Structure 1
Amino acid sequence: MSEVEELTGFKRSYIYGLIRKNKFPQSIAIGARIVGWDANSVLEWIEAQKVSE
C-alpha cells in the first residue's frame, strides 16, 4: 500500500474509496490478511489519468 500511495499521491482511504467506485485497479489477495496490486495495472491507471485531464 505504501508504494501505491507514493505512486498515486493518494492516501489509503481515498484509494479504497476509488476501488469501491470501480475507478482504481482491484487489490489482489496475497495472504490471509495481505493484499497487493499489480504494478502494471497501477501504472496504466496513472497514465490513463494523465490523458483524461
Structure 2
Amino acid sequence: MDLNDLLHRHQVALMRAATATTSQARQSHDGTARCYETKIETLRTMLGASGRMVAA
C-alpha cells in the first residue's frame, strides 16, 4: 500500500467515524483511523518525510 492509499483510507475512516450512527460504529472507525495513522507515520519515517500527522 502506498502513502496516497493510506492517506485516502485514513480520511475515509475519519469521515465514517464522523457520520456513524452508533457509538460502537464510531469507535470502530476511530480505531481503524488510528491504525492507518500508525502505518502512515511508519511509512513517512521510512521515506524520510518530516513532521507528524495532526489529529483534527
The normalised TM-score by structure 1 is: 0.35
Larger Rg: 2
Bigger helix fraction: 2
More RCO (CA 8 Å, sep 6+): 2
Bigger strand fraction: 1
